[in-house]
A and B are shown apart, each in its own frame.
Chain A
């Protein structure tokens, strides 16, 4: 601990001399008149549309069709090897011909040589087309969805929430979270959007109803 802590806190208290001694934080009221969600459309339709706006692709399927859909997406992107979370459901990969590596602490070099990653997600936000990963079930460590150039994310319809407020309500801040809204992108060169600088350049979302 350095003396700076006391110095900075002391300066703050001196700077706030105008704040009445009896004032508590709730005395500064925060209007809660904003909407919990914006009623912009049916959740799944909205999510699919928003994701398409980000130039990611949406594939809609049912529980029974999931293995074939995953196989089709991987073959469409010419995936030879895919990585997935150690606890991803085995049924996801019953149709694909690609080699599937489970994340039991795979090293970076292996990830570098892997074409695709297939994960689940904690939830998806319809209004913004956002997927949220929290390292929970079927998601694995943050690194696996970062290094391969192609990310396939499986979203269960029951995990689609309408809005950002609803999402925060359901998420656990103690877990490391990654919010993904479309593929990696930069607009730094004359504001022209280019997909993929460092994160996955291609994002496929498989929506399971």
Chain B
């Protein structure tokens, strides 16, 4: 990935361009609807979903409130199992550390498992500057890398591309990176997946260093957990001699049995499956089986900043399932790139400003990239009250010196939703209603919030309801 997010315009300008892209909007609409329906079906199969959600939320709260203790526990468990632990206070330090660890192996190539944390710190670029080539091995990440693009969705990073575009990308760029695409490549998904398999096979079998993230890190056992679908993760986690995992400090969970909650919450919320095809767990090194060396890099990079805000802290509960993206009416219209961060959608709108501060664009505009409809909160498997954090961040943005104009941000974000005056009114109404009766919207939007779990976005948006109401069409029910 050579295109960094640096220098991105604020959300309103980026969104304006995206909303005008009819192809993008139609790709996104189809994709988010499909994933949403799968997720709803998978979730409705478990009658204790709300109990799992409550447990997930509480486990993460317990961890965050005692994060120092759990990280120290994780560190000693990993060391006891033969791994080495490194701490990085920011992106630059993490990149320096990983670069040194790769150099120490004498290698100049690494294979990578899809990892948002390494995208966040722009590790590939840093390694590139040090003469080390990082190869993405997840199919979507490969598409993004070959086209010098940026990911636009947490789960399906190349969701903005259709099969014809993907065919062209593989056909024209695979040769620059290694095994070329076969002659006469068609746009049949099977053929495209097969091309990726052939392109990467040798690389897996010959590369000696892998870099990954982790979905969870268990403090009491030192176990790392990675969920995936394709098997590229298993390749990277077992074939190379050296494995380096860059993991945000918020990924720790206290104990092995806590995984019983998260291994139920995550796949069903994310891909809408009962379980993703592959989950790998490892504890340090296993002699004779898998990597001989394991390094864990624990990353802060603004997380302690989010932790210090007693309201915003909850964003660190996020398990990156992407359910909130798929129900968000704003994301559905703009796609992920408009958020100017590796964390798009509702979670990106609260996480990015907290990690990076709200003094610059696009961070200052992100808290406005929302209609505050509450759908994201309803589907979040760890019950992050995203609207609440957004409102708090808005307060922070307007109160800070040098804030250019809330009106400008509001105007443009409102344009995304189809009319800034109505949006402003709708937001005011939504916010007022929330503060009187928490987490309830006026009817018929209350249908969303009364059922604790949002099945899918209703036929009418809040905006449409408001328009109808204003025009006297509202029946009152």
Decide whether A and B assemble into one complex: yes
Q: Which among B55, B200, B204, B231 has the greatest number of chain A C-beta atoms within 10 A?
A: B231
C-alpha spacing A198/B141, complex, angstroms: 14
Alpha-carbon gap, A183 to B278, bound state (A): 9
Instruction: Pick out which of these stretches binds chain A: B10-18, B82-90, B388-396.
Output: B82-90
Count the B residues whose beta carbon is within 8 Å of the partner chain — how many? Answer: 95
B84 to chain A, nearest CB (A): 10
Interface 1/0 per residue, B39-72 and A, CB below 8 Å = 0000001111001101100110110011111011
Structural contact, A38 and B48, CB atoms closer than 8 A: yes
Given contacts A142-B290, A164-B260, A189-B189, contact A181 B48 (CB under 8 A): no
Q: How far is the CA of A9 from the CA of B89 in the complex (A)?
A: 10
Total A residues in contact with B, Cβ cutoff 8 Å: 73
- With known contacts A16-B68, A23-B65, A197-B193, A185–B48 Cβ distance under 8 A: no
Q: Chain A residues with Cβ under 8 A from B86's Cβ?
A: 2, 4
Q: Is A76 an interface residue (CB 8 A)?
A: no
Stretch at the interface among B268-276, B363-371, B409-417, B418-426: B268-276
| B257 & A128 in contact (Cβ 8 Å cutoff) | no
**Alpha-carbon distance A3/B205, docked complex (angstroms):** 37
Residues A35 and B89 in contact in the complex (CB < 8 Å), given A165-B260, A176-B290, A186-B139:
no
Contact pick for B205, options A9, A38, A108, A177, CB 8 Å:
A108
- Interface 9-residue window, one of B122-130, B232-240, B345-353, B463-471: B232-240
A149-198: which have CB < 8 Å to B?
Answer: 164-165, 168-169, 173-192, 194, 196-198
Tell me which residues across on chain A come within 8 A of B215, comparing CB atoms.
Answer: none
B163 within 8 A of A: yes
Which of A30, A164, A194 touches B263 (beta carbons < 8 Å)?
Answer: A164
Tell me if A50 and B189 are in contact (CB < 8 A).
Answer: no
The answer to whether the Cβ of B244 comes within 8 Å of any Cβ in the partner chain is no
Q: State whether the Cβ of B441 lies closer than 8 Å to any Cβ in chain A.
A: no
Q: Are A8 and B283 in contact (CB under 8 A)?
A: no
Q: How far is A24 from B70 in the complex, measured between Cα atoms in Å?
A: 12
Pair A178/B229 contact, Cβ less than 8 Å: no
Establish whether residues A197 and B231, one from each chain, have CB atoms under 8 Å apart when the complex forms.
Answer: yes
B155: shortest Cβ distance to chain A, in Å?
Answer: 9
Report Cα–Cα, A196/B193, bound state, in Å: 8
Q: Is B278 in contact with A179, judged by CB distance below 8 angstroms?
A: yes
Given known A197-B193, A197-B197, contact A185–B230 (CB-CB < 8 A): yes
Closest residue on chain A to residue B223 by CB atoms: A173
Q: Is B277 an interface residue (CB 8 A)?
A: yes
User: Interface SS of chain A: helix, strand, loop or mixed?
Assistant: loop
Residues of A within 8 A of B140 (CB): 188
Contact with B along A125-140 (1 / 0, CB 8 A): 1011110000100000
Q: State which residues 37-77 of A face B: CB under 8 Å.
A: 38, 40, 50, 53-54
For A140, give the chain B residue with the smallest CB separation: B289
Judged by a CB distance under 8 angstroms, whether A91 is at the interface is no
Interface string of A1-35 (1 = CB under 8 A from B): 01011011101111111110001110011111111
Interface-forming stretch among B303-311, B399-407, B431-439, B454-462?
B303-311
Contact across chains for A143 and B205 when beta carbons are under 8 A apart: no
B147 to chain A, nearest CB (A): 13
Min C-beta distance of B174 to chain A, whole Å: 14
Q: Are A142 and B289 in contact (CB under 8 A)?
A: yes
CA–CA, A24 and B69, complex, Å: 10
Question: Once the chains bind, are B58 and A29 in contact (CB under 8 Å)?
Answer: yes
Q: Is A146's CB within 8 Å of the partner chain B?
A: yes
Interface residues of B (CB under 8 A from A): 27, 30-31, 34-35, 45-48, 51-52, 54-55, 58-59, 61-62, 65-69, 71-72, 81, 86-89, 93, 137-140, 143, 156-159, 162-163, 166, 189-190, 192-193, 196-197, 200-201, 204-205, 218, 221, 223, 229-232, 234-235, 238-239, 249, 254, 256-257, 259-261, 263-264, 271, 273-283, 286, 288-290, 298, 300, 304-305, 307-308, 310
Given contacts A28-B61, A183-B277, 15 further A-B contacts (CB under 8 A): A5-B87, A15-B305, A28-B66, A30-B55, A33-B51, A108-B205, A108-B239, A130-B275, A141-B289, A143-B239, A169-B257, A177-B281, A187-B156, A189-B163, A198-B197
Sample 25 A-B pairs with CB under 8 A, ordered by A number: A4-B93, A9-B72, A12-B67, A12-B249, A12-B304, A13-B68, A16-B67, A31-B58, A34-B52, A50-B274, A53-B274, A135-B286, A142-B234, A146-B234, A165-B260, A174-B283, A179-B280, A181-B276, A187-B156, A187-B271, A188-B138, A194-B193, A198-B204, A198-B231, A199-B230
